[in-house]
Structure 1
Amino acid sequence: MSIHRIISIVFVSFAFFPTLQAQTIPLRIRLQESRQQPVVGATLQLTDRIDTTRHLYALTDTLGSATFQLSLTRTYSLLATSVGFKPIRKLIKPTTGQSVLTLTAEQDNIMLQGVSVTAAKPLLKQEDDKTIVDPEPIANTSTSAYEIMEKTPGIFLDPDGNVYLSSTTPATIYINGREQKMSAADIASMLKSLPPNSIARMEIMRTPSARYDASGSGGIVNIILKKGVKIGLTGSINAGFNQGRFGNQFAGININNTQNGRSAYLNVNYTNRNSYEEVQSNRNFTADSVLRQDAYTTYPAQVVYVGYGLSYELSRKWDVSLDGRFSWNQANSQASNDNLISQISTGRLLTENLNQVTNKNRLLSFSQGLNVKYKLDTLGSELITDISYNFNGTRGLQDFSTQYLLPERAGTSGDGNFTSQRHQLAAQVDLKYKILKAVTLETGLKTTGQYFTSDAAYFNLIGNNRLSDRARTNMFDYRENINAAYVQASRTFGQFLLKGGVRLENTNMDGHQRIPADTSFRINRTDFFPYIFLSRKVAKIAGYELRSYLIYRRSITRPTYDYLNPFARYVDQYLYEAGNPALRPQFTENYELNISVEDRPIFAIGRNHTQDIFTNVVYQDPQNRRIAYRTYDNLGTNRETYFRVLGAIPPINRYFFVVGAQFNYNEYSGVYENAPLNFKRGSWSFFTFHSFKIDKRSTATLNGFIRTRGQLQFYELSNFGVLNLSLNRKFMQDKLLVTLTANDLFFTNYYQFTLQQGSVVANGLRRNDTRRFGVTLRYNFGIRKREEKVNMFTIEPPNS
């Protein structure tokens, strides 16, 4: 008995209930050009509108025809593509009286030298439990992948590089389906080096299915890179700059080559950038004293980025692809922090000192992946194996000094050097198997191993002596292994689509602090994470189909080693950081209901309920109230309720827009500094994107957001927002694109903050170099091979 039959019998034995195969009819689709000649070798794709995971494929024969067996109770989306013609998109509803459907393909006369015109695609599209973002309208006005995310409606980024979707928990970043286990700052640096036109699409999964890691309680943003999708040799050269208080300059080249079932791409990009951050804060020491700090930091950096990939269609069943990324980052920073302690009642200045810190960092990042896909049948069943390796290494030097201005005394200074290395190896196997057409089974295994080492040595200069600084010197290593298995199944019931599954994850974490003291810890645990997704057609209004989606998911957020390590890390003489070895993981249950119109999301409402929530908190040192320390602590429970609305004009004619709003209401209940904690706050976010086609070669875009009563953990934020404007025009037969940009036009993307929890009372201002004006040039080049559309039964005499 074959393995396919065994799988079918086992699954059908516990399927939801027996299914009756719907009545089907044959439908022949014929594709012709304007002169009624057949279009040979065109690709036809039919997608079931109820079960969008089910696709039917065929190539047109010498008569331009292909035949499908279609259900009379279903509606299908047709996509017909052929080189030299514009794509055709059409909804098909099979009827007993129709056996042939003839379509006429329009020639794409502009498809020369790597320039092509395709049918307009929506900026945002809903596909089951994920939102698909077409980055093309935004890429033309952006300098990096980071900017694309900043300008995408419904995605919010904080100054630290964290990405937020529906909740106040940061989302997890994936690239090509692989999680990037790096800090938010490292991921932000990588995305700032990634060319904007190297992205094929972005997948936003606010409630990912059991197929994905359970650690993404804030959702997942999966960035899919282009992999040589055009026929022939094509590419682009880009260069530009933008200027704020400091300037950024960048240049790069992208090359794609696809022919005879083989694809290759190469992206090379160089960036020279600089920016600043200004943080002003006030924190009460006692009832009658306050510490005022004014910190100003610059971040000059030079980055070289290389991305590459190869893919092969070994046969109709086997696909193999290799892809990798290399990044070299020379990132420096120079910080100056003026500290003043004053008496509140009299305003008298008691103490003033100046801290100065210089960092010189060298960061090397390397990633390599191998993906093998085996197509089991023509219904969409497939077996995918993916193996990847990531390396991140850092070497840094630091010089620090303090000048004591009041009362005046001799200053102090010192230096340090540190290295860190992070190795990650991941392997997974995923099986998707179609059973009885209406049922899809998915299952898989995954293992991830991570090894991280860090060594930091600091010294104080006292007179002419360079002495070890035990308050900063440390060495540790950390090992992590997560093993996972999942199974989920989806099935259609008339107008309903039900998907359910469960994921099992076994977590093993082992940390060892070696210097200055042994603070080892070990965590071993196994958890289950259920997932349910239900979709149904609600109604059809004015020819537009409304669908509703109901989702439930359980997820986990694990504390990393930095959160658990209790060793005190010195920031300045008034602040230090320390981990909490007793920190427990937090678990979140998410419920969401959303509605879409013609695959475009318009409304969502949901709730996140988190137990043992841990967050960054600030406490005052019990031994010295002038000193505060930052740590992580489990504070109790959090209930977050949110809803989101989105409206849009489809991308037709000369103008389209997207406008939306999101409301988040958080309720914390627990214990803070051994006292009851009850914290409630609601915040609004409004976002928009507009595009206006001035003429055939010129387009203007406007995008921005406003956030009112914002929140960052327990920090209450003032109102802030941003407005970006851009204008692009094509020259030289549409091969040269010139873009003018103005980001944060009115310099409003900064906020004031207030923290009032327990004994800590603080407020301040945080501002970055966000207002920038720039110019980008992009030149498209290449040779596109056009298919010869020849009727093999007609022989033309040669030219004399």
Structure 2
Amino acid sequence: MKAIYILFLFTFFTVCVQAQVNPAAKGKISGKVTDAATKQPVDYATVSVYKQGSTSPFNGISTDPKGRFTVDNIPDGEYKVTADFLGYQRSIIEHVIVKNGASTVIGEILLAPVPHQLKGVTIVAKTPTVENRIDKMVYNPQNDLSAQGGVAIDILKKVPQITVDIDGNVELQGNSNIRFLINGKPSSIFGASLADALQSIPASQIKSIEVITSPGAKYDAAGTGGIVNIILKDSRVEGVNGSVNLSAGTRRENGSFNLNVRKGNFGVNAFFSGNAQLNSNSPNTRNRTSTDSAHNTTTLFQQGSSNFTRNGYESGLNLTWNISKHDDLTGSIGFNHFGNHGNGITNQDQRQVNALGEEISDFKSIRNSSSKFNGTSTDVSLNYKKTFEKEGQELNVLYTESFGRNTFSSFQQQDYLNADIPSSGISNNNPGKDRETNISVDYTHPVSKSFTIETGAKLDFNNINNNIITDTLQDGVFVPNANQTYGFSYHRKIYAYYLSATTSVFNNFLDIKAGLRDEYTTTKADFEGTNIPNYNILAPSLVLSHKLGNSQSIKISYTRRVQRPDYGDLNPFLNISDPHNINTGNPNLKPELGNNFELGYNKSFDKGANINIAAFYRHNTNDIQQFTTFYDSLVVNGVTYSQVSLSQRYNLGSQTREGINLYGSVPITDKLSVRSNMFFSARTSNNPGSKSVTGFSYRINMNVQYNFGHDLSAEFFGNYRSSQKDIQGTDPKFVFYNIAMRKMILNKKFSFGLTASNPFANFVGQRSTTFGSNFNQVNIRQVPIRSFGISLSYKFGKLDFKKDDRDNRDNKDDDTNNSPDTPPLEKPKDNAGSNGGGKSK
């Protein structure tokens, strides 16, 4: 059945794009753009290619730091080429001929400065929604209507190869062990609560999301699933500009303000954003049946509802100083906060019968509970970059420091209704601190035009400290419980070094990127019974890529990754907000190791269609998974709890996952475009002493966008995620869809939009099961997801460009949002007024 699914989908994609295939050879148009007055190259000028006589370009590119450009994938024909840049008059070259798939060299295009200073300029440039590169896939949400007014999670739902469940848990190619970065750098806020952090970053702050399934040796080896790097907006243009974004809705409100100031070689970027998820009520039931050693059967039925709110804000300040032609210094500081609060009432009925079905007991009770979480993070970074006269040669030194503080507290009290049993209850408070320090040095040396060596070293120190303070209910009063009050500290140091090389062989027939990273880890934890030995990990990586003409490519890759347990996995704090369902961490967890193989194919078509196929195989050992054990009675530091399901993380054997991801984008007409992403995979878990468990899952989504003209557009997005069998039950399926519209006015400086999510159903039902040798449990939640909202955005600013400073900016082409741990990004052409942002969580 799985093979039939994959064959059908592959055929479907092929049929959808077949009409756009042109087997004829494609040519190239290349040249150089130069300032007519100073004879200096014009970097990031916009070069557009028109079919002769047409008024709309069909292809284009930005010039590199040397003013050069090459536009490929050009069919034979006659064309018009234009070159534009702010502060210059447009240059037009007519009747450019491309024949027999050859390369046509225009030569030098001179741009003449405009005679007067510009008073104000708005830049409008369209970036492809999905870009495929040799080592990553990049999702650009600039034209994502349905995510307007939303948060990072709303954008991640649309990113190829990523799946998101209804609670905001993220998987990359079916693996939840992902290394999340902000602007190429780690943040302690992710270790506190990933789901909360991702629901506190406004979508308006995000420029792009990079998905790296096979990271090279230059990247940290952490994350068996790969790396997701969230790039926030900033501005590189002269002058003062910024934006204001506001949204309000029935479930969420947020707003952000961005300000960018740049004069000569110095720039400042500041931003502030805040958001709140309004109170929502979720009905839920849990039905558990268990059997004890005397063959008595106990049924615990819990029914209730819970209220939940979430809030957060982010702020940041970034400073850039281009000291000289070859020396850049970038510094940033950010402060971020998020929190959530929940409370609920649950009616409970615990009934026990013997083997003959005779009732032994029937206790009815009511439980009041609440929980609260608050987390803050202060992130500081300083980056020095030095380039050399030799193109591509550079040195990067990066220092980052992240300070996190978080507090989790919970309370619950059970009152029995039909038995002479005293009320019981517990109150917990768990404050913690997290500090992570990174120092890295990276050097890139191009030996020749086709051979480059990269090397570097990194220190990563992480310190976690927290305290667990517990009070228990005795005779109607909460008193300190010394047996459940303790501290926990965890100190980890990682020493890393890497060496990698990139080259082309056989006359550029094959591109090769190979590397080896060595990471030595030392760990100390002061919790009783904890002993984690030091270990060394070698992480090789290899990418082989071949271009099949100018419009398609194929690649194969291998990488070895490690998943070190994080704060939540390790913390031994016992969450007893529900005494029948207790959760805790495991300080003795070992790192999980993963070997990842991937085969990818990408093809672009003349009329703008694109298809990407990625098949993968992953094998993990010391697999970290949550496992639930049922106890008739459980003694926790001197207190006995009855009928308890204890959930804890363990290293459980190994896991294998194989699958395929299909992505396609087709412009049906000039106004209508369709994108779809389909993901299919099978996961097999092998646990010692148990049967292997295989579960098949899939995810299908579709995005349809229509442009009505007059700056009015609409979008529909639908997503279906199937249920999946795991080692102890099944995860729930998830259906989500939304509709959005956007209107832009005032020369596109102001826009307003309307969104509706799941408008025809107030709740989405979530049914999951959990079972073990002596129990079986069914959970049903009704999650409120229907929402309606409105969003407003205003862009402002005056841009000043001085051509006589261009030679001092010749080498500032790399996006300094990226740390030395990430390869340089291709420079996008942001809207002048929409840039903003900086470091967030």
TM-score class normalised by the smaller sequence? 0.7 to 0.9
Residues 1:573 and 1:187: Cα distance change in structure 2 (over 3 Å): closer
Equivalence for 2:509: 495
Distance 2:304 2:98 in 1: 62
Distance 1:91 1:638 in 2: 56
Residues 1:114 and 1:364: Cα distance change in structure 2 (over 3 Å): farther
Is residue 242 of structure 1 aligned with residue 249 of structure 2? yes
Distance 2:191 2:166 in 1: 10
Give 1:203-352 correspondences, 5 Å limit: 203-243=210-250, 247-276=251-280, 277-286=282-291, 288-329=297-338, 331-342=340-351, 350-352=362-364
Correspondence for 1:83 among 65, 82, 86: 86
What is the deviation of 1:155?
A: 2.2
Equivalence for 2:385: 373
Equivalence for 1:702: 716
Distance 1:130 1:159 in 2: 26
Equivalence for 2:539: 529
RMSD: 3.8
Amino acid at match of 1:668: S
Residues 1:770 and 1:324: Cα distance change in structure 2 (over 3 Å): farther
Q: Give yes or no for contact 2:693–2:726 (8 Å, CA) kept in 1.
A: no
Distance 1:146 1:420 in 2: 26
Q: Which digits, 9 at most, give the CA deviation of each residue in 1:544-578, with x for residues without a partner?
A: 61100100011112234654566755343323334
Equivalence for 2:628: 618
Correspondence for 1:751 among 751, 766, 780: 766
What is the deviation of 1:691?
A: 1.8
Is residue 572 of structure 1 aligned with residue 578 of structure 2? yes
Greater mean deviation of Cα atoms: 313-322 or 159-168: 159-168
SS in 1 for 2:435: strand
SS in 2 for 1:559: coil
What is the deviation of 1:92?
A: 10
Is residue 629 of structure 1 aligned with residue 632 of structure 2? no
Q: Give yes or no for contact 2:629–2:772 (8 Å, CA) kept in 1.
A: no
Distance 1:407 1:88 in 2: 89
SS in 1 for 2:168: coil
Amino acid at match of 2:680: F
Residues 1:742 and 1:106: Cα distance change in structure 2 (over 3 Å): farther
Normalising by the residue count of structure 2, what TM-score does the alignment of the two structures yield? 0.78
Amino acid at match of 2:778: N
Identity within the alignment, %: 20
Normalising by the residue count of structure 1, what TM-score does the alignment of the two structures yield? 0.82
Q: Give yes or no for contact 2:633–2:643 (8 Å, CA) kept in 1.
A: no
Q: Give yes or no for contact 1:619–1:630 (8 Å, CA) kept in 2.
A: yes
Q: Which digits, 9 at most, give the CA deviation of each residue in 1:232-280, with x for residues without a partner?
A: 211111222111xxx4322331112233132221111232323445543
What is the deviation of 1:319?
A: 1.2
Is residue 43 of structure 1 aligned with residue 43 of structure 2? yes
Give 1:647-726 correspondences, 5 Å limit: 647-649=664-666, 653-671=670-688, 675-711=689-725, 714-726=728-740
Residues 1:758 and 1:590: Cα distance change in structure 2 (over 3 Å): farther
Residues 1:338 and 1:218: Cα distance change in structure 2 (over 3 Å): farther
Residues 1:466 and 1:185: Cα distance change in structure 2 (over 3 Å): closer
SS in 1 for 2:198: helix
Distance 1:236 1:67 in 2: 31
Q: Give yes or no for contact 2:191–2:566 (8 Å, CA) kept in 1.
A: no
SS in 2 for 1:116: coil
Distance 2:391 2:254 in 1: 45
Equivalence for 1:127: 133
Q: Give yes or no for contact 2:179–2:223 (8 Å, CA) kept in 1.
A: yes
Give 1:544-559 correspondences, 5 Å limit: 545-559=551-565
Is residue 731 of structure 1 aligned with residue 745 of structure 2? yes
Residues 1:294 and 1:129: Cα distance change in structure 2 (over 3 Å): farther
Distance 1:328 1:564 in 2: 22
Distance 1:42 1:558 in 2: 46
Distance 2:91 2:471 in 1: 66
Residues 1:436 and 1:161: Cα distance change in structure 2 (over 3 Å): same
Residues 1:153 and 1:229: Cα distance change in structure 2 (over 3 Å): same
Distance 2:315 2:721 in 1: 36
Distance 2:485 2:38 in 1: 74
What is the deviation of 1:581?
A: 5.5
SS in 1 for 2:709: coil
Distance 2:97 2:201 in 1: 36
Unaligned runs of 5+ in 1: 1-25, 48-54, 61-65, 71-77, 790-800
SS in 2 for 1:649: strand
Unaligned runs of 5+ in 2: 1-28, 48-61, 73-80, 635-641, 805-841
Amino acid at match of 2:236: V
Distance 1:682 1:88 in 2: 56
Is residue 143 of structure 1 aligned with residue 171 of structure 2? no
Q: Which digits, 9 at most, give the CA deviation of each residue in 1:582-606, with x for residues without a partner?
A: 5432211111000112495510111
What is the deviation of 1:506?
A: 0.8
SS in 2 for 1:589: strand
Q: Give yes or no for contact 1:580–1:632 (8 Å, CA) kept in 2.
A: yes
Residues 1:338 and 1:96: Cα distance change in structure 2 (over 3 Å): closer
Amino acid at match of 2:324: S
